[in-house]
Amino acid sequence: MSARTAVTRFVPTAEQYAWTFGGYEPVMQVRPGDVLDLFTEDAFGGRIRSSQDIASKSIVYPFINPQTGPFYVEGAAPGDTLAIHLIDVQPARDWGVSTTVPLFGSLTSTKFTPTLQEPLPEKTWIYAVDSGAREVTYRALDSEYSVRLPLEPFLGTIGVAPAASEARNVLVPEAFGGNMDTPEARAGATIYLGVNVEGALFSIGDGHYTMGEGEVCGVAVEGSMNTLLTVDLIKGVFCDWPRIENDQEIMVAGSYRPLEDAFRIAHTQLIRWISAETGLSMMDTYQLVTQASRSPIANVCDANYTIVAKMPKRHLPPGVDWMRGTHERLRESSKAVKGVVPSE
Protein backbone atom coordinates (compact mmCIF):
# COMPACT_ATOMS: atom_id res chain seq x y z
CA MET A 1 0.00 0.00 0.00
CA SER A 2 1.01 3.60 -0.41
CA ALA A 3 -0.34 7.01 0.47
CA ARG A 4 -2.25 6.83 -2.82
CA THR A 5 -4.02 3.60 -1.88
CA ALA A 6 -7.64 3.66 -2.97
CA VAL A 7 -10.32 2.75 -0.45
CA THR A 8 -13.50 1.19 -1.83
CA ARG A 9 -16.65 2.07 0.09
CA PHE A 10 -19.47 -0.49 -0.04
CA VAL A 11 -22.91 -0.02 1.54
CA PRO A 12 -25.23 -2.95 0.76
CA THR A 13 -28.78 -2.49 -0.38
CA ALA A 14 -31.43 -4.47 1.49
CA GLU A 15 -31.41 -7.07 -1.28
CA GLN A 16 -27.63 -7.56 -1.12
CA TYR A 17 -27.32 -8.83 2.43
CA ALA A 18 -26.32 -12.48 2.86
CA TRP A 19 -28.03 -14.72 5.42
CA THR A 20 -25.71 -17.73 5.25
CA PHE A 21 -22.00 -18.40 4.96
CA GLY A 22 -21.79 -20.09 1.57
CA GLY A 23 -24.67 -20.25 -0.86
CA TYR A 24 -24.51 -16.63 -2.07
CA GLU A 25 -22.94 -15.13 -5.17
CA PRO A 26 -20.24 -12.53 -4.45
CA VAL A 27 -21.25 -8.87 -4.32
CA MET A 28 -17.77 -7.77 -5.37
CA GLN A 29 -14.40 -9.10 -6.49
CA VAL A 30 -11.31 -7.83 -4.68
CA ARG A 31 -7.58 -8.43 -4.86
CA PRO A 32 -5.06 -9.07 -2.08
CA GLY A 33 -3.98 -5.68 -0.77
CA ASP A 34 -7.27 -3.96 -1.54
CA VAL A 35 -8.77 -1.79 1.20
CA LEU A 36 -12.52 -1.89 1.83
CA ASP A 37 -14.67 0.50 3.86
CA LEU A 38 -17.76 -1.57 4.66
CA PHE A 39 -21.09 -0.71 6.27
CA THR A 40 -22.77 -3.48 8.23
CA GLU A 41 -26.31 -3.30 9.57
CA ASP A 42 -27.03 -4.40 13.14
CA ALA A 43 -28.17 -7.92 14.00
CA PHE A 44 -31.82 -6.87 13.74
CA GLY A 45 -31.46 -5.18 10.37
CA GLY A 46 -32.08 -1.79 12.00
CA ARG A 47 -35.69 -2.72 12.74
CA ILE A 48 -35.53 -2.43 16.54
CA ARG A 49 -35.22 1.24 17.48
CA SER A 50 -37.11 1.77 20.75
CA SER A 51 -37.82 -0.06 24.00
CA GLN A 52 -41.32 -0.74 22.67
CA ASP A 53 -39.97 -2.80 19.77
CA ILE A 54 -39.50 -6.50 20.56
CA ALA A 55 -37.65 -9.10 18.56
CA SER A 56 -40.52 -11.53 17.97
CA LYS A 57 -42.57 -8.82 16.24
CA SER A 58 -39.70 -6.97 14.53
CA ILE A 59 -37.72 -9.73 12.84
CA VAL A 60 -38.47 -13.01 11.09
CA TYR A 61 -36.13 -15.98 11.56
CA PRO A 62 -33.75 -16.76 9.85
CA PHE A 63 -33.29 -13.12 8.79
CA ILE A 64 -31.01 -12.19 11.70
CA ASN A 65 -27.38 -10.99 11.51
CA PRO A 66 -27.35 -9.62 7.95
CA GLN A 67 -23.92 -10.07 6.38
CA THR A 68 -22.12 -7.60 4.15
CA GLY A 69 -20.64 -9.73 1.39
CA PRO A 70 -19.59 -12.20 0.31
CA PHE A 71 -16.45 -10.86 -1.36
CA TYR A 72 -14.53 -12.93 -3.89
CA VAL A 73 -10.77 -12.63 -3.34
CA GLU A 74 -8.75 -13.10 -6.52
CA GLY A 75 -6.27 -15.95 -6.28
CA ALA A 76 -7.79 -17.52 -3.17
CA ALA A 77 -7.91 -21.31 -3.53
CA PRO A 78 -8.73 -24.21 -1.21
CA GLY A 79 -5.73 -24.90 0.98
CA ASP A 80 -4.76 -21.21 1.33
CA THR A 81 -5.46 -18.93 4.27
CA LEU A 82 -7.25 -15.60 3.98
CA ALA A 83 -5.91 -12.83 6.21
CA ILE A 84 -8.34 -10.02 7.07
CA HIS A 85 -6.71 -7.10 8.88
CA LEU A 86 -9.18 -4.85 10.69
CA ILE A 87 -7.79 -1.34 10.35
CA ASP A 88 -10.69 0.45 12.03
CA VAL A 89 -14.07 -0.63 13.45
CA GLN A 90 -16.38 2.22 14.47
CA PRO A 91 -20.10 2.71 15.28
CA ALA A 92 -22.18 4.00 12.38
CA ARG A 93 -24.95 5.28 14.70
CA ASP A 94 -25.19 7.08 18.04
CA TRP A 95 -27.35 4.34 19.55
CA GLY A 96 -27.28 0.58 20.00
CA VAL A 97 -29.81 -1.99 21.12
CA SER A 98 -29.98 -5.14 23.22
CA THR A 99 -32.90 -7.47 23.84
CA THR A 100 -34.00 -10.71 25.34
CA VAL A 101 -35.30 -13.15 22.75
CA PRO A 102 -37.60 -16.14 23.43
CA LEU A 103 -35.76 -19.49 23.45
CA PHE A 104 -32.37 -17.81 23.03
CA GLY A 105 -29.61 -17.07 25.54
CA SER A 106 -27.53 -18.83 28.16
CA LEU A 107 -29.95 -18.75 31.10
CA THR A 108 -33.31 -19.60 29.56
CA SER A 109 -34.91 -22.56 27.87
CA THR A 110 -33.72 -23.02 24.28
CA LYS A 111 -34.38 -25.49 21.48
CA PHE A 112 -31.11 -27.23 22.37
CA THR A 113 -31.63 -27.20 26.16
CA PRO A 114 -35.41 -27.40 26.65
CA THR A 115 -37.14 -27.15 30.01
CA LEU A 116 -40.79 -26.94 31.07
CA GLN A 117 -40.49 -23.30 32.15
CA GLU A 118 -42.02 -20.51 30.10
CA PRO A 119 -39.58 -18.36 28.09
CA LEU A 120 -38.25 -15.28 29.85
CA PRO A 121 -40.14 -12.07 29.01
CA GLU A 122 -39.08 -10.06 25.98
CA LYS A 123 -37.43 -6.74 26.82
CA THR A 124 -35.53 -4.16 24.80
CA TRP A 125 -32.85 -1.76 26.04
CA ILE A 126 -31.62 1.20 23.96
CA TYR A 127 -28.06 2.39 24.60
CA ALA A 128 -26.88 5.92 23.85
CA VAL A 129 -23.42 5.95 22.23
CA ASP A 130 -20.91 8.69 23.06
CA SER A 131 -18.13 8.14 20.55
CA GLY A 132 -16.12 11.08 21.90
CA ALA A 133 -16.04 9.71 25.44
CA ARG A 134 -15.83 6.12 24.13
CA GLU A 135 -18.80 5.06 26.26
CA VAL A 136 -22.31 3.63 25.96
CA THR A 137 -25.03 4.23 28.52
CA TYR A 138 -27.06 1.42 30.09
CA ARG A 139 -30.44 2.47 31.51
CA ALA A 140 -32.49 0.07 33.61
CA LEU A 141 -36.09 -0.48 32.50
CA ASP A 142 -37.57 -1.09 35.96
CA SER A 143 -35.73 1.58 37.96
CA GLU A 144 -33.87 4.89 37.51
CA TYR A 145 -30.43 3.26 37.54
CA SER A 146 -27.99 4.01 34.72
CA VAL A 147 -24.28 3.50 34.22
CA ARG A 148 -21.72 4.20 31.51
CA LEU A 149 -19.90 1.23 29.99
CA PRO A 150 -16.82 1.29 27.74
CA LEU A 151 -17.41 1.55 23.98
CA GLU A 152 -15.42 -1.41 22.62
CA PRO A 153 -16.63 -2.06 19.06
CA PHE A 154 -16.00 -5.37 17.33
CA LEU A 155 -17.47 -7.65 14.68
CA GLY A 156 -19.59 -10.53 15.99
CA THR A 157 -19.45 -12.36 12.65
CA ILE A 158 -16.56 -12.72 10.23
CA GLY A 159 -16.18 -15.81 8.09
CA VAL A 160 -15.67 -17.53 4.75
CA ALA A 161 -17.72 -20.06 2.79
CA PRO A 162 -17.59 -23.49 4.49
CA ALA A 163 -16.17 -26.63 2.93
CA ALA A 164 -18.16 -29.35 1.11
CA SER A 165 -20.51 -26.88 -0.58
CA GLU A 166 -22.28 -26.21 2.71
CA ALA A 167 -24.34 -23.12 3.45
CA ARG A 168 -24.45 -22.35 7.18
CA ASN A 169 -26.84 -20.02 8.96
CA VAL A 170 -25.21 -16.75 10.04
CA LEU A 171 -25.93 -17.53 13.71
CA VAL A 172 -23.49 -20.47 13.54
CA PRO A 173 -19.76 -20.28 14.37
CA GLU A 174 -17.51 -23.15 13.29
CA ALA A 175 -14.23 -23.89 11.50
CA PHE A 176 -15.08 -21.33 8.78
CA GLY A 177 -15.37 -18.54 11.39
CA GLY A 178 -18.89 -17.16 11.37
CA ASN A 179 -20.76 -15.93 14.43
CA MET A 180 -17.88 -16.30 16.88
CA ASP A 181 -18.88 -13.21 18.91
CA THR A 182 -15.34 -12.67 20.15
CA PRO A 183 -14.33 -9.14 21.20
CA GLU A 184 -10.90 -9.98 19.78
CA ALA A 185 -12.28 -9.20 16.27
CA ARG A 186 -11.59 -5.53 16.82
CA ALA A 187 -9.48 -2.81 15.22
CA GLY A 188 -5.81 -3.80 15.01
CA ALA A 189 -6.44 -7.54 14.81
CA THR A 190 -5.75 -9.85 11.89
CA ILE A 191 -8.18 -12.74 11.40
CA TYR A 192 -6.87 -15.86 9.62
CA LEU A 193 -9.43 -18.15 7.98
CA GLY A 194 -8.75 -21.29 5.98
CA VAL A 195 -10.00 -21.03 2.38
CA ASN A 196 -12.45 -23.77 1.41
CA VAL A 197 -13.72 -22.57 -2.00
CA GLU A 198 -12.36 -20.55 -4.90
CA GLY A 199 -12.36 -16.89 -3.97
CA ALA A 200 -12.81 -17.60 -0.22
CA LEU A 201 -16.15 -15.67 -0.24
CA PHE A 202 -15.77 -13.80 3.04
CA SER A 203 -18.39 -11.63 4.69
CA ILE A 204 -18.72 -9.63 7.90
CA GLY A 205 -21.49 -8.30 10.13
CA ASP A 206 -23.13 -8.33 13.57
CA GLY A 207 -21.39 -5.26 14.98
CA HIS A 208 -21.21 -5.07 18.76
CA TYR A 209 -20.56 -1.83 20.65
CA THR A 210 -19.79 -3.61 23.93
CA MET A 211 -20.33 -7.09 25.37
CA GLY A 212 -19.48 -9.08 28.46
CA GLU A 213 -17.73 -12.42 28.07
CA GLY A 214 -20.14 -15.16 27.02
CA GLU A 215 -22.86 -12.85 25.62
CA VAL A 216 -24.98 -14.24 28.44
CA CYS A 217 -28.51 -13.18 27.42
CA GLY A 218 -27.66 -13.91 23.78
CA VAL A 219 -27.59 -10.29 22.61
CA ALA A 220 -24.74 -7.77 22.93
CA VAL A 221 -25.17 -4.03 22.49
CA GLU A 222 -25.90 -4.47 18.80
CA GLY A 223 -25.16 -1.70 16.33
CA SER A 224 -24.44 -0.85 12.73
CA MET A 225 -20.75 -0.48 11.97
CA ASN A 226 -18.27 1.07 9.59
CA THR A 227 -15.28 -1.24 9.16
CA LEU A 228 -12.07 -0.41 7.33
CA LEU A 229 -10.15 -3.55 6.42
CA THR A 230 -7.60 -5.01 4.04
CA VAL A 231 -7.17 -8.57 2.83
CA ASP A 232 -4.24 -10.76 1.90
CA LEU A 233 -3.54 -14.39 1.07
CA ILE A 234 -1.10 -16.86 2.59
CA LYS A 235 -0.65 -19.36 -0.20
CA GLY A 236 -0.24 -23.03 0.60
CA VAL A 237 -0.99 -22.63 4.31
CA PHE A 238 -4.36 -23.74 5.68
CA CYS A 239 -5.79 -22.87 9.10
CA ASP A 240 -8.04 -25.67 10.31
CA TRP A 241 -9.72 -23.23 12.73
CA PRO A 242 -9.80 -19.43 12.90
CA ARG A 243 -6.62 -17.80 14.14
CA ILE A 244 -6.37 -14.25 15.41
CA GLU A 245 -3.26 -12.14 15.91
CA ASN A 246 -2.71 -8.70 17.37
CA ASP A 247 0.44 -6.94 18.48
CA GLN A 248 0.52 -8.70 21.85
CA GLU A 249 -1.04 -12.14 21.36
CA ILE A 250 -1.78 -15.06 19.09
CA MET A 251 -5.14 -16.81 19.45
CA VAL A 252 -7.32 -19.62 18.16
CA ALA A 253 -11.12 -19.65 18.26
CA GLY A 254 -12.80 -23.01 18.82
CA SER A 255 -16.56 -23.24 18.24
CA TYR A 256 -18.62 -26.31 19.00
CA ARG A 257 -20.90 -27.98 21.56
CA PRO A 258 -20.44 -28.93 24.34
CA LEU A 259 -18.33 -26.08 25.70
CA GLU A 260 -15.55 -28.52 26.65
CA ASP A 261 -15.07 -29.46 23.01
CA ALA A 262 -14.80 -25.80 21.99
CA PHE A 263 -12.15 -25.45 24.71
CA ARG A 264 -10.27 -28.52 23.46
CA ILE A 265 -10.35 -27.38 19.83
CA ALA A 266 -9.01 -23.91 20.66
CA HIS A 267 -6.19 -25.14 22.88
CA THR A 268 -5.16 -28.12 20.75
CA GLN A 269 -4.92 -25.85 17.72
CA LEU A 270 -2.98 -23.18 19.65
CA ILE A 271 -0.46 -25.71 20.96
CA ARG A 272 0.09 -27.22 17.52
CA TRP A 273 0.53 -23.76 15.97
CA ILE A 274 3.09 -22.67 18.56
CA SER A 275 5.02 -25.94 18.36
CA ALA A 276 5.19 -25.78 14.55
CA GLU A 277 6.31 -22.14 14.44
CA THR A 278 8.80 -22.16 17.33
CA GLY A 279 10.30 -25.64 17.24
CA LEU A 280 9.29 -26.30 20.85
CA SER A 281 8.22 -29.89 21.36
CA MET A 282 4.52 -30.61 21.67
CA MET A 283 4.82 -31.53 25.34
CA ASP A 284 6.90 -28.47 26.21
CA THR A 285 4.36 -26.31 24.40
CA TYR A 286 1.52 -28.05 26.24
CA GLN A 287 3.15 -27.19 29.54
CA LEU A 288 3.88 -23.57 28.59
CA VAL A 289 0.37 -22.92 27.29
CA THR A 290 -1.07 -24.46 30.44
CA GLN A 291 0.71 -21.90 32.60
CA ALA A 292 0.63 -18.75 30.44
CA SER A 293 -2.50 -18.80 28.27
CA ARG A 294 -5.90 -17.24 28.88
CA SER A 295 -9.25 -18.68 27.73
CA PRO A 296 -12.00 -16.05 27.45
CA ILE A 297 -15.46 -17.35 26.62
CA ALA A 298 -16.80 -15.57 23.55
CA ASN A 299 -20.34 -16.96 23.51
CA VAL A 300 -22.46 -19.56 25.30
CA CYS A 301 -25.67 -18.83 23.41
CA ASP A 302 -25.17 -19.52 19.70
CA ALA A 303 -25.80 -22.72 17.80
CA ASN A 304 -22.18 -23.55 18.71
CA TYR A 305 -20.29 -22.11 21.67
CA THR A 306 -16.97 -20.29 21.21
CA ILE A 307 -13.85 -20.18 23.36
CA VAL A 308 -10.70 -18.27 22.42
CA ALA A 309 -7.31 -19.59 23.53
CA LYS A 310 -4.87 -16.66 23.87
CA MET A 311 -1.09 -16.77 24.27
CA PRO A 312 1.01 -13.64 24.92
CA LYS A 313 3.86 -13.32 22.45
CA ARG A 314 6.17 -12.10 25.22
CA HIS A 315 6.21 -15.60 26.70
CA LEU A 316 7.19 -17.23 23.41
CA PRO A 317 10.57 -17.50 21.67
CA PRO A 318 11.46 -14.16 20.03
CA GLY A 319 11.83 -13.55 16.32
CA VAL A 320 8.96 -15.77 15.13
CA ASP A 321 7.23 -14.56 11.95
CA TRP A 322 3.76 -15.78 12.87
CA MET A 323 1.80 -16.70 9.75
CA ARG A 324 4.77 -15.57 7.62
CA GLY A 325 4.76 -12.15 9.24
CA THR A 326 1.39 -11.25 7.71
CA HIS A 327 0.02 -9.30 10.67
CA GLU A 328 3.14 -7.17 11.02
CA ARG A 329 3.19 -6.40 7.30
CA LEU A 330 -0.52 -5.55 7.09
CA ARG A 331 -0.36 -3.41 10.22
CA GLU A 332 2.50 -1.36 8.81
CA SER A 333 1.07 -1.01 5.32
CA SER A 334 -2.38 -0.03 6.61
CA LYS A 335 -0.93 3.09 8.27
CA ALA A 336 -0.88 4.66 4.80
CA VAL A 337 -4.67 4.31 4.56
CA LYS A 338 -5.44 7.03 7.10
CA GLY A 339 -6.79 10.13 5.46
CA VAL A 340 -7.48 8.42 2.15
CA VAL A 341 -10.87 9.36 0.68
CA PRO A 342 -13.01 6.32 -0.16
CA SER A 343 -14.02 5.74 -3.76
CA GLU A 344 -17.60 4.60 -4.39
For residue 312, the cross-strand partners are: 249
CA angle 293, 299, 305 (to 5 degrees): 90
| Rg value, the chain, Cα | 20
What does residue 240 show for φ and ψ, rounded to 5 degrees?
A: -65, -35
Whole-structure pTM value = 0.95
What is d(CA 126, CA 52) in angstroms, rounded to the nearest whole number? Answer: 10
| pLDDT at site 264 | 98
259-278 and 282-292 helices cross at what angle (nearest 10)? 120
What is the residue type of 293?
Answer: S
DSSP structural state of residue 228? E
Strands 67-73 and 28-30, how do they pair?
Answer: parallel
Q: What is the pLDDT along the chain (344 residues), one digit of tens a residue?
A: 444 578 999 999 999 999 999 999 999 999 999 999 999 999 999 999 999 999 888 888 888 999 999 999 999 999 999 999 999 999 999 999 999 998 889 999 888 888 898 889 999 999 999 999 999 999 999 999 999 999 999 999 999 999 999 999 999 999 999 999 999 999 999 999 999 999 999 999 999 999 999 999 999 999 999 999 999 999 999 999 999 999 999 999 999 999 999 999 999 999 999 999 999 999 999 999 999 999 999 999 999 999 999 999 999 999 999 999 999 999 999 988 865 556 55
Q: Could you tell me which of 49, 208, 39 has the C-alpha nearest to residue 136?
A: 208
What is d(CA 269, CA 273) in angstroms, rounded to the nearest whole number? Answer: 6
The domain made up of 7-240 has a fold known as: Jelly Rolls (2.60.120)
Q: Could you give the C-alpha distances from 312 to 130, 190, 249, 254, in angstroms and in order?
A: 31, 15, 4, 18
